[in-house]
Homo-oligomer: A and B are copies of this chain.
Amino acid sequence: MKTIGKLPVNVKVISEGEEEIGSEHLDGFIKENLDKLRCDYVVVSDTSMHSIEHPSICYGLRGLCYMEINLTGPNRDLHSGSFGGAVDNPINALAHIISKLKDENGKILIPGFYDDVRELTPQEREEYAKIPFDEDEYKKDLGVDELFGEDGYSTPERDSGRPTLDANGIWGGFQGEGAKTVLPSKAGAKISMRLVPDQDPKQIEKLFTDYVKSITPRTMKVEVKSMHHAKPAITPIDTEAMKAAVRAMGKAFGKDPIFMREGGSIPVVETFQTLLGAPTILLGFGLPTENTHSPNENFDIRNFYNGIKTIAYYYDELSKINNNHG
């Protein structure tokens, strides 16, 4: 507006605060406001790029199936001296259950879990191989001596192109300083699975629930709860809208972006594509070093300005496209 006096395209802004808890109300809102929201393209700025030296555009997101397991053994906390050895312990039982969800080579053991996984194409694996990745730097940044993951895949493939399973939280018994000899009544864990096309979170929820129930010993009562879902999403990279994004980003960063998938999930992307029928372009400016979801989360001030420039260039580029959805 400063440069040419008016925006080159009409812009509608939609913002939400529920993304981290599965965007439960957003689908309903979009359905109720389809006419107001109708548009040619959707731009979402909630992704990261490879690095400030290697700008990238995200063309795929993993989905999510987030579950909680609650085990109850005895109906009250017991003295571990008086009952230990004769009554099963929900923490020990939970450890056995979690150890059977993913083996020590990163393979998920839930029957049927991989059935709908779309294998990475040879072309995609070539693209992955081009991503600048320094294993020593990566390990040093994270402070780990060794990486971990599914056999037969590289780290960039593992962190975004393959599904996975992580325990996000665990609790049970005495957690304070010192020692308490309790055989606890309850233990629980939060377990989430990142999904790739064409896995369906609802189907994965069912497979997970059935499997966990089947491996819970008869000494325990188990509750398996679904916390939230997100479908995996892929945006085609050969559209006019995507080519325009490459040009905009190239101008702002002085370097053409590479294409990458991202390991996280943005539930609404799949909704925009389905309900609005509009191509969704992910133009995000986060960096992997910004401690996302961790203490001291931050955002690089250089990309704050690079991002503003990219979006301004992108509006201009989009205005030049013959708008039959790219």
A residues touching B (Cβ–Cβ < 8 Å)? 20-22, 48, 62, 64, 66, 73-89, 91-92, 94-99, 101-102, 104, 106, 142-150, 155-156, 158-159, 162-175, 178-184, 187, 189-190, 192, 194, 217-219, 221, 227-228, 262-265, 288, 291-295
Known A-B contacts A66-B181, A170-B171, A182-B293; A82 and B264 likewise in contact (beta carbons under 8 Å): yes
User: Known contacts A104-B96, A170-B173, A173-B170; is A194 also within 8 Å of B80 by CB?
Assistant: yes
Not counting A94-B95, A169-B172, A169-B173, a sample of 17 additional A-B residue pairs whose C-beta atoms are within 8 angstroms of each other reads A79-B263, A79-B264, A79-B293, A80-B166, A81-B265, A83-B263, A86-B148, A86-B159, A91-B166, A92-B99, A92-B102, A95-B97, A95-B98, A146-B217, A146-B219, A169-B182, A170-B171
Interface pair A178/B84, CB less than 8 Å apart: no
Our pick among B104, B147, B179 for the contact of A66 (Cβ within 8 Å) is B179
CB pair B82 A263 closer than 8 Å: yes
Contact: A179 with B21, CB < 8 Å? yes
Contacts of A168 in B (CB 8 A): 80, 91, 173-174, 179-184
Contact yes or no, A86 B149, CB < 8 A = yes
Residues of B within 8 A of A218 (CB): 145-146
14 chain-A/chain-B pairs, Cβ below 8 angstroms:
A48-B82, A74-B144, A76-B294, A77-B294, A81-B265, A83-B263, A85-B150, A85-B163, A86-B148, A88-B144, A88-B147, A95-B170, A168-B181, A170-B187
